[in-house]
Structure 1
């Protein structure tokens, strides 16, 4: 959490500096995003498609804000730096949720053991609120694209990276009974003390994305983006089998979403 605070402090200093020194050139945008989020957690077997891609899928929505370090209204005598014309800062507040189940060979129909039944009986949910920022690198000049002065320039692909502060609230239930009263209904590796924690908490995450904007109107764009988000905690789903050698990574997700962006000035 100390590292997250340092990052956020540096981010706000950076934003304030940009506003102070370049306020004559700054421009702003707002918008929203919505799409499907695929969660990869302790639910499901590693390298199983349903567990990692097709099964534990939820929804996400968010509000976004962009700070551009240049005025994208084209002015021949007011060109700025390469950084200002290819990078923009994006702030985001988003919400995600997903239902989580086990998939893979350990819950196949041919598995008839009691432990397999316990896996099949486990069901989880997790809820996420993300607040953070990303720096986007646009291959196309932001002024050229935003000013609409080049009619054939309709797409603006970009890469992004950033940090989020995340509030998560997981839950767990079993079809076999109340696991808090009788832990024996849970699969063996999560019966170890500390392997289950469904308390709501705050963590951080790193994000990396790829996307593109497409001209929609004179002052608006449609965006399409795929983003990978890696959490600094392994309890986002409520489970963390620390003694299991297969449990090497923290929870993460891939969010595929579309959005709408409106130019404020």
Structure 2
């Protein structure tokens, strides 16, 4: 596991420093127990927005001497990315069961639910650049693709309510059928996640890059969205379609500044 790391180094005003900071933002598609797997309406409807603060350790350059490090493969092709992220997604049920022509009690219960989840993540990723980081820093080329993998600690805070129940009580018998009995959780919690991404940097100048990052995050919990239907919860019916924990796809754009 890669832990948050901060080097105690003097920073000088020259291009190619050991520390980089930036911000990222973009839409988050939340794949959860709301809606139906593979349903286009679900995939486009349960979309939120996120932003983050990022910090890089750049091993190709030493800040204490304003010089390149020894020419090693790791130094010229890897960076450590540390970040703090926040995203929120409004959630609801989609699919054939909530179509306008469905008039069953169960369909009415699904349509009446509105929910959301707020997620804070902190962690690190090891980022690999196939092309030389030194050559990119010296602007020998403008584009630098990368892939990364890491681990995040996650805190989540879900909410859900039903317009059918007094006070919006989502766990009221009026609001949930047998399948979703005891499946909604209002309390926040924490878990871990694995993060993988593929992206590209574009060099604006000696001191700044912009970045496009396509990221997948898989949570080690099925409660991040506040909904986890199953036989263990309802004690009556198995829910075979609930096959995986929650996960997200985040397409973000970022600005990265090389510190002076």
- TM-score, normalised to structure 1, is 0.85
| 1:197 aligned onto 2:185 | yes
| Runs of 5+ consecutive residues of structure 1 not aligned to the other structure | 1-6
1:34-89: CA deviation from partner (whole Å, max 9, x where unpaired): 000000000001110121x211000101100000112189x998542111111100
Question: Is the contact between residue 123 and residue 152 of structure 2 (CA under 8 Å) also seen in structure 1?
Answer: yes
| 1:246 aligned onto 2:244 | no
1:156-192: CA deviation from partner (whole Å, max 9, x where unpaired): 000011111011000001111232572331243111x
Q: How does 1:166-205 map to 2 (within 5 A)?
A: 166-177=154-165, 178-179=168-169, 182-191=172-181, 193=182, 195-205=183-193
Q: 1:34 aligns with which of 25, 31, 41?
A: 25
Evaluate the alpha carbon distance shift between residue 11 and residue 72 of structure 1 in structure 2; reply closer, same or farther with a 3 A threshold.
same
Q: 1:115 aligns with which of 106, 122, 133?
A: 106
* Counterpart in the other structure of 2:203: 215
Evaluate the alpha carbon distance shift between residue 91 and residue 77 of structure 1 in structure 2; reply closer, same or farther with a 3 A threshold.
closer
Evaluate the alpha carbon distance shift between residue 217 and residue 101 of structure 1 in structure 2; reply closer, same or farther with a 3 A threshold.
same
Q: How does 1:90-105 map to 2 (within 5 A)?
A: 90-105=81-96
| 1:257 aligned onto 2:257 | no
- The structure where helix makes up a greater share of residues is 1
Secondary structure of the equivalent of 1:145?
Answer: helix
Cα deviation for residue 242 of structure 1 reads: 2.2
Question: Is the contact between residue 179 and residue 186 of structure 1 (CA under 8 Å) also seen in structure 2?
Answer: no
* Counterpart in the other structure of 2:234: none
Question: Is the contact between residue 61 and residue 68 of structure 2 (CA under 8 Å) also seen in structure 1?
Answer: no
Question: Is the contact between residue 122 and residue 186 of structure 1 (CA under 8 Å) also seen in structure 2?
Answer: no
d(CA) in 2 for partners of 1:77, 1:132? 27
Cα deviation for residue 26 of structure 1 reads: 7.3
d(CA) in 2 for partners of 1:212, 1:48? 29
d(CA) in 2 for partners of 1:227, 1:59? 13
* Counterpart in the other structure of 1:66: 56
Question: Is the contact between residue 30 and residue 248 of structure 2 (CA under 8 Å) also seen in structure 1?
Answer: yes
Q: 2:3 aligns with which of 4, 11, 17?
A: 11
Q: How does 1:124-143 map to 2 (within 5 A)?
A: 124-143=115-134
Question: Is the contact between residue 59 and residue 75 of structure 2 (CA under 8 Å) also seen in structure 1?
Answer: yes
How many residues are matched? 243
After TM superposition, the structure 1 stretch with the greater mean CA deviation from structure 2, 236-245 or 89-98, is 236-245
Question: Is the contact between residue 26 and residue 69 of structure 1 (CA under 8 Å) also seen in structure 2?
Answer: no
Task: Give the alignment's Cα RMSD to 1 decimal.
Answer: 2.3
| 1:54 aligned onto 2:49 | no
* Counterpart in the other structure of 1:3: none
| Runs of 5+ consecutive residues of structure 2 not aligned to the other structure | 9-15, 232-238
